[in-house]
């Protein structure tokens, strides 16, 4: 990779319960295709041997081991729902090996909720081995971290206002989307690679795009390539659904790696 190349690994591409879902009889849960097995949604970005995560859910430990990630500079949080934050405790290994707190970024309400769930990570006096974090409240301005230029993007997730991220002006990551403000669309129009959530094919949800809605939004944004994530069994079988998508649009799957 050259100095400006970003490597993206899709650590998980499933919705809040993952795929398969415990106890569900949906046919996709019984698929033998590895692309239909989905951990909770997250990606890791690598540039110049520096790694940052977007979100850190309950599958974080296994995702890091499976992807062979041995160092982590920080975590960009989109929002505070459990499937995006519950892996924070498992950052302890990285904190130990790095010899410094884990840098975490997110909206104020997101970080406040994380504090409630992991009060021991923010305590002035910590028990030995507890994770230590250095929190950064994101606003609307671009900032630099670990060699990445990061622009927080406004995203609507039901009644919650959350973060998406534009990285180095060429990679936009928007999960748990039910709508996008015009200002966000303008900032990512014609972006080279877009990651956009799509919960299921056509059955509408108050807090998530369907695949049909996500395709329409991708066409409006005119992204070079779009990868759909945060997928439930309702998205259908990977290969069948992929065959129905426009040429430059793809269902992401766990373990997918791309470079920009």
Domain boundaries, the chain: 7-259
pLDDT for 5 = 98
Return per-residue pLDDT of the chain as tens, 260 residues. Answer: 688 999 999 999 999 999 999 999 999 999 999 999 999 999 999 999 999 999 999 999 999 999 999 999 999 999 999 999 999 999 999 999 989 999 999 999 999 999 999 999 999 888 888 899 999 999 999 999 999 999 999 999 999 999 999 999 999 999 999 999 999 999 999 999 999 999 999 899 999 999 999 999 999 999 999 999 999 999 999 999 999 999 999 999 999 999 99
Helix (H, G, I), strand (E, B) or coil at 50: strand
Among 116, 122, 120, CA closest to 104: 122
For residue 13, the surrounding DSSP H or E stretch is none
pLDDT for 2 = 84
**What does the pLDDT look like over 214-227, one tens digit per residue?**
999 999 999 999 99
What is the pTM for the complete model shown? 0.97
pLDDT for 77 = 98
Rounded distance between C-alpha atoms, residue 23 and residue 26, angstroms: 9
CATH superfamily of 7-259: Ribonuclease Z/Hydroxyacylglutathione hydrolase-like (3.60.15.10)
Rounded distance between C-alpha atoms, residue 208 and residue 33, angstroms: 25
Three-class secondary structure assignment of 115-152: HHHCHHHHCCCCCCCCCCEEEEECCCCCEEECCEEEEE
């Amino acid at each position: 990779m050259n100095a400006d190349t970003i490597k993206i690994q899709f650590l998980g591409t499933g919705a809040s319960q993952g795929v398969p879902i415990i106890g569900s009889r949906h046919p996709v849960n019984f698929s033998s295709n590895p692309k239909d097995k989905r951990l909770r949604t997250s990606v890791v970005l690598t540039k110049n041997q520096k790694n940052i995560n977007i979100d850190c859910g309950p599958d974080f430990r296994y995702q890091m081991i499976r992807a062979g990630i041995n160092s982590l500079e920080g975590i960009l949080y989109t929002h505070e729902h459990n499937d995006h934050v519950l892996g924070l405790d498992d950052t302890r290994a990285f904190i130990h090996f790095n010899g410094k707190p884990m840098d975490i970024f997110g909206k104020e309400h997101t970080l406040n909720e994380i504090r409630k769930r992991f009060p021991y990570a923010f305590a002035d006096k910590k028990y030995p081995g507890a994770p230590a974090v250095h929190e950064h409240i994101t606003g609307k301005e671009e900032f630099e971290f670990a060699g990445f230029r990061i622009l927080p993007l406004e995203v609507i997730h039901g009644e919650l206002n959350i973060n998406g991220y534009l990285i180095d002006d060429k990679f936009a990551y928007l999960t748990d989307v039910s709508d996008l403000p015009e200002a966000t669309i303008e900032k990512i129009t014609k972006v080279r690679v877009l990651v956009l959530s799509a919960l299921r094919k056509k059955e509408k949800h108050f807090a998530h795009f369907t695949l049909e809605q996500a395709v329409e939004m991708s066409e409006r944004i005119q992204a070079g390539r779009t990868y759909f994530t945060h997928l439930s069994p309702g998205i259908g079988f990977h290969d069948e659904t992929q065959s129905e998508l426009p040429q430059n649009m793809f269902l992401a799957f766990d373990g997918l790696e791309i470079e920009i």
